[in-house]
Amino acid sequence: MASSKTVEIAAPKRALTPCILDEDPAQLEVLSAVITEMGYEPIPTSDPAEALQLVKRGRCRLVLVDMHTPGMDGYEFLDQLSRSDPGVHVIVMTGEYTLESALEAIRRGAADFLPKPIDQVRLRKALDDVAALYDQRRRVKALEEQLLKDLEFHGIVGKSPVMLEVFDFARKVARHYTNVLLVGPTGTGKELVARAIHQISPVSQQKLAVCNCSAMVDTLLESQLFGHVRGAFTGATDTRPGLFEYANGGTVFLDEVGETSLAMQAKLLRVIQNREIQRVGSPEVRQINVRLIAATNRDLRAEVLTGHFREDLFYRLSSIQIRVPSLTERLEDIPLLMQFFLKKYNAAYGKNISGLTRRAQTVLLQHPWPGNVRELENVISSACITATGDFIDIGDLPEQLQHRNPGGAEGDDWRPLSLDEVRKVHIQRVLEMCQDNRLRAAQVLGIGRTSLYRYLKRDKMASRSKARSGGAAA
């Protein structure tokens, strides 16, 4: 009977499926027989293109290659292999062993270098070392997946001290709060934190109503939140309760609360102070019992100073405040988030991408992430669609990331642009990042929606008149 240890070793050996690439059919046959004898299931070939394909398709995780295969530059072949699958293991064989060539092959990613004629003991050791390494990587991956599960707080991934603090505070607050204010830049996960707080709260079995306060004009927002009676305004053909009544006993999440008008703020203050509402068009005052979570990416204190936000409402809302930090304040979360989104989009698109190449990871770690986690999620999602190999590489990342100067400095691209041009280019980049969502772009840019529209209109008119004058000159 096979012991469990034998079974454990046999599995990675089989999964490795070594591809043997050698021009000499007799050599291929002998090597194949020897390697099969050692418990592996090799695929022999004398065609470098076939070997590459076997690696690309994920069939072989190990290649034993004779460096002097005719019609093939050995080092270039090594580079091609690691480009198509950075996780592939390569053992180089050669009849012309020199220390320099061995070191060069290892520098280019080879796992080992075997002089010919092949010594069987040495070969077995090289293969078993690779099998052990392969097995170790598989186990690390499984552990990382487990870790990912452990580091998830109600769907929010994070292991940085700042995020662990957010989780801890949210957990404590959830049991006792009546109002909480979530602040932080766009795309940092405020809505996720709001949902988590509701899930942990004693009213988790009740409803959670979400209202995006910036998406509607005042009258519509009022009717959505407070409800209306029939005939209250043109088009009010029936009587409807609003979100506060709908979520009575549960939670209302007021997203983008910083975008509300002063008139609406007065109505919200009444809800917070007295827990009472009035449907639009009705004199009847109704008592409600809801927990309130509000979120904003604006600096409300500054808005108070400029007269855009009511001071009394601000103090009421912010008695308990949770700040969700920007992604650059928690760079150590990026690898974990990458893994999380990779898993999510592998499942969504039916793919099986194993990871990101080291250089792609470096690019992502150096990006300033103005759109925070949402931007990172968009990058991984689109890279999952584009990637054809087992790994996401630089070429699968969006243009603006690919051409970024490593180190973050944009010095090499520098041109003496006018401020107007800089603004135009910057707005276009932020719009691309926000997938043309103008509201989000305006938030990232820290300007109002109307200002953004004004700039876009001005830029459009400028490029039209430029095109016209260019046409006239031609």
Ligand X SMILES: Nc1ncnc2c1ncn2[C@@H]1O[C@H](COP(=O)(O)OP(=O)(O)OP(=O)(O)O)[C@@H](O)[C@H]1O
Nearest distance from C-beta of residue 152 to ligand X, angstroms: 8
Distance from the Cα of residue 88 to its chain's centroid: 25
Binding segment for ligand X among 109-117, 153-161, 268-276, 305-313 (CB under 6 A)?
Answer: 153-161
Q: Which does 339 bind (CB under 5 to 8 A by kind): Mg ion, ligand X, none?
A: none
Per-residue x/- track, 331-350, ligand X (CB under 6 A)? ------x--x----------
Q: What is the dihedral of CA 245, 246, 252, 255, to 10 degrees?
A: -110
The Cα-based distances of 103 to 74, 84, 106, 123 in angstroms read: 14, 22, 5, 18
Contact flag: residue 299 with Mg ion (CB under 5 A): no
| Residue from the set 28, 55, 93, 157 that interacts with ligand X by CB under 6 A | 157
Nearest distance from C-beta of residue 85 to ligand X, angstroms: 28
Nearest distance from C-beta of residue 164 to ligand X, angstroms: 12
Q: Which does 156 bind (CB under 5 to 8 A by kind): ligand X, Mg ion, none?
A: ligand X
CA distance 71 to 409: 42
Binding segment for Mg ion among 64-72, 150-158, 250-258, 443-451 (CB under 5 A)?
Answer: 250-258
Which residues in the 233-252 window bind ligand X by CB under 6 A?
Answer: none
The runs of H, that is alpha helices, within 108-181 are 120-150, 161-176
CA distance 39 to 198: 55
Q: Which does 192 bind (CB under 5 to 8 A by kind): Mg ion, ligand X, none?
A: ligand X
| Residue from the set 66, 112, 222, 377 that interacts with ligand X by CB under 6 A | 377
Q: Which does 158 bind (CB under 5 to 8 A by kind): Mg ion, ligand X, none?
A: ligand X
Nearby residues of 383 by Cβ (< 8 Å), 6 or more positions away: 356, 360, 392, 396, 397
Q: Which does 32 bind (CB under 5 to 8 A by kind): ligand X, Mg ion, none?
A: none
Q: Which does 69 bind (CB under 5 to 8 A by kind): ligand X, Mg ion, none?
A: none
Contact flag: residue 191 with Mg ion (CB under 5 A): yes
Nearest distance from C-beta of residue 380 to ligand X, angstroms: 11
State which residue, 112 or 259, has the beta carbon closest to ligand X.
259
- Per-residue DSSP letter, 115: E
CA distance 445 to 438: 10
CA distance 242 to 35: 72
Contact flag: residue 300 with ligand X (CB under 6 A): no
| Pair 247, 290: CB distance under 8 Å | yes
Helix, strand, coil tally for the chain in percent (to 5): 55, 15, 30
- The residue number whose beta carbon is nearest to Mg ion equals 191
Q: Which does 157 bind (CB under 5 to 8 A by kind): Mg ion, ligand X, none?
A: ligand X
State which residue, 66 or 255, has the beta carbon closest to Mg ion.
255
Binding segment for Mg ion among 158-166, 184-192, 321-329, 376-384 (CB under 5 A)?
Answer: 184-192
| Residue from the set 27, 94, 223, 297 that interacts with ligand X by CB under 6 A | 297
CA distance 219 to 111: 68
CA distance 285 to 301: 31
Contact flag: residue 292 with ligand X (CB under 6 A): no
State which residue, 377 or 396, has the beta carbon closest to ligand X.
377
State which residue, 173 or 210, has the beta carbon closest to ligand X.
210
Which residues in the 181-210 window bind ligand X by CB under 6 A?
Answer: 184, 186-192
CA distance 245 to 247: 5
Other C-beta atoms closer than 10 Å to the C-beta of 233 total 13
- Per-residue DSSP letter, 296: E
Which residues in the 10-69 window bind ligand X by CB under 6 A?
Answer: none
The per-residue b/e assignment along 290-310, b for 16 or more CB within 10 angstroms, e otherwise, is bbbbbbbbbebeebbeeebbb
Relative to beta strand 89-94, strand 112-115 is parallel
- How many residues sit in the footprint of ligand X (CB under 6 A)? 19
- Say which residue the tokens 């669609």 belong to: 385
Nearest distance from C-beta of residue 372 to Mg ion, angstroms: 11
CA distance 89 to 79: 12
Which residues in the 253-282 window bind Mg ion by CB under 5 A?
Answer: 255
State which residue, 179 or 297, has the beta carbon closest to ligand X.
297
Nearby residues of 313 by Cβ (< 8 Å), 6 or more positions away: 265, 268, 269, 272
Helix (H, G, I), strand (E, B) or coil at 446: coil
Q: Which does 374 bind (CB under 5 to 8 A by kind): ligand X, Mg ion, none?
A: ligand X
Nearest distance from C-beta of residue 374 to ligand X, angstroms: 4
Q: Which residues bind Mg ion (CB under 5 A)?
A: 191, 255
Residues forming the site for ligand X (CB under 6 A): 156-158, 184, 186-192, 297, 337, 340, 373-374, 377, 440, 443
